[in-house]
Chain A
Amino acid sequence: MSAKEEKFEMKRLGLIFYLFLLLLPIYWMLNMSLRTNADILGAFSYYPADPTFANYIKIFTEEAWYSGYINSIIYVTLNTIISLVTALPAAYAFSRYHFLGDKHVFFWLLTNRMAPAAVFLLPFFQLYSTFGLIDTHIAVALSHCLFNVPLAVWILEGFMSGIPREIDETAFIDGYGFPRFFITIYIPLIRAGIGVTAFFCFMFSWVELLLARTLTTTNAKPIAATMTRTVSATGLDWGLLAAAGILTIVPGALVIWFVRNHLAKGFALGRV
């Protein structure tokens, strides 16, 4: 085996070891989700000796549970679309143009991720009540734009700045108008960036709890809020919580599955 191959093997082994460690807590959650509460608390076990799907059946049959997933998926999807559509042109402007206040606006955007949520919840509730938006999906989607739009602009700007401006110039000389250039040439070039941005918007909106819970009561109540109920009732139902946790991973895993090829593709010079 040559030195190069040996190094390659070491890298591969390191990665496998990391992924293995990463999966351990998730495996433990899966293990718990297939057991009853008494079984979990009763004895240590590496695998479910007597697997039961009771926890999953409960989630899929009780409306209070499955509606939480539907609500979350609706507002998270809305949020991801709004964030991407508004952030794409803005990120292009920041990466290509000098304009009045550009640096300040760019950094100001990010400052919206820096405030501790606890004290801001009350004013948020008042603001969205004023517009009659409480307990709607769009309210949660809009409020999550506060942290996702800046993130999207920053990530996309990073990718766009890596693309030589000669590509833009050549396209404009070739007679492309801005919208056509942007959609047919530019967006395919930064699809790795768009993939990773879409995933992050989805992820941050999916796991956010405080705002989503504050702005909803029943009709748009998110799954993460439903899951806190298992904590307060008669003790904690670990099995049910673990099953709900496993199911919260699924939609996001599907998103990353769909964007994985864009993520891995990167871009090659001279494709234009």
Chain B
Amino acid sequence: MDKWEDNKAWFLVLPVFVIVAFSAIIPLMTVVNYSVQDIFGPGQRIFVGTEWFKEVLHDTRLHDALWRQFLFSGLVLLIEIPLGIAVALTMPKKGWGVSVSLVTVALPLLIPWNVIGTIWIVFTRPDIGLFGKAINSMGIAFDHTASPLDAWITLMFMEVWHWTPLVVLLAYAGLRAIPDAYYQAASIDGASAWAVFRYIQLPKMRGVLTIAVLLRFMDSFLIYAEPFVLTGGGPGNSTTFLSIYLVKIAVGQFDLGPAAAFSLIYFLIILLFSWLFYQAIQNVGKGDAP
């Protein structure tokens, strides 16, 4: 369906444009500025061109962090999106169960991120935490402070626990926005549950799933507080994700130039992949949307 052609629609967009641009443009330009200068102190800076970018691109520890980050975000999307849709499909449509399940699902999202890490430290401790105690009592020696694999498993549990609710809420709201007429038509045709999901529910959820995939990709790629508090990037460097490494450079070593160059490259990677995801979801199965 074609949209109406009218440039006056800009007036509807203008408030949003102004309010976002106010906070976006000047800080971004400042960071671009940092990335091409060597800063010694107030008023003492020299232009260094692309030196910081070259330095950052050849940093092998950054390469490691980048691969780790891709693995992490990939796992997050593969687990959370299907799980979130599945849970949304099982949620009741009316009655008191709606309120109970909606409120319960939302709870993990509402805890500040640094607190989530702290709570999971205790929760996974073998001596005083429920999760650690339960796993150890099954006879598995589990310790996320010593074993990289255990650290990853703990992080994934925490991440899935924390963020799947976001997918659930979006998918549920998307499902509830499907007019009953579609379901009635499907039941007259004698469509199976799978056919209803594949040809009605999934295409109708395209909008909310786009935002769910993009949000989960962006936020998991930028993840900082939870792993920083839970594992501190360890054991070794096994859970040092990009932003943890970035903060090490920016705050720990106060290398503003390389950190700014790093930030811009980081930003461009997220931009590229978000764009690819966006295009893919917009175009997949375009023909069968009702």
Contact = CB atoms under 8 A, between A and B. Distances in A.
Contact of B27 (A89, A90, A124): A124
Interface string A191-220: 011011001100100110100000000000
Q: How large is the interface on B (under 10, 10 to 19, 20 to 34, 35 or more residues)?
A: 35 or more
Nearest to B166: A200
Interface in A16-52: 18-19, 21-26, 28-29, 32, 40-41, 43-44, 46
Contacts of A89: 12-13, 15
Interface in A102-122: 102, 105, 107, 109-120, 122
Contacts of A111: 267, 271, 274
A15 interface: yes
B145 interface: no
A166 to B, nearest CB: 10
Interface string B87-102: 1011101100011111
A58 interface: no
21 contacts: A15-B87, A19-B101, A23-B104, A89-B15, A105-B13, A118-B251, A118-B259, A119-B262, A120-B263, A158-B174, A158-B207, A159-B177, A192-B173, A206-B110, A224-B114, A224-B115, A227-B115, A248-B115, A251-B110, A253-B110, A266-B179
Given A100-B7, A119-B34, A142-B19, 5 more contacts: A15-B101, A82-B19, A94-B13, A153-B16, A268-B180
Interface of B: 1-10, 12-13, 15-17, 19-20, 22-24, 26-28, 30-31, 34, 86-87, 89-91, 93-94, 98-115, 118-120, 122-123, 127-131, 133, 161, 165-166, 169-170, 172-181, 204, 206-208, 210-211, 214-215, 218-219, 222, 224-225, 242-243, 246-247, 250-251, 256, 259-260, 262-263, 266-267, 270-271, 274-275, 278
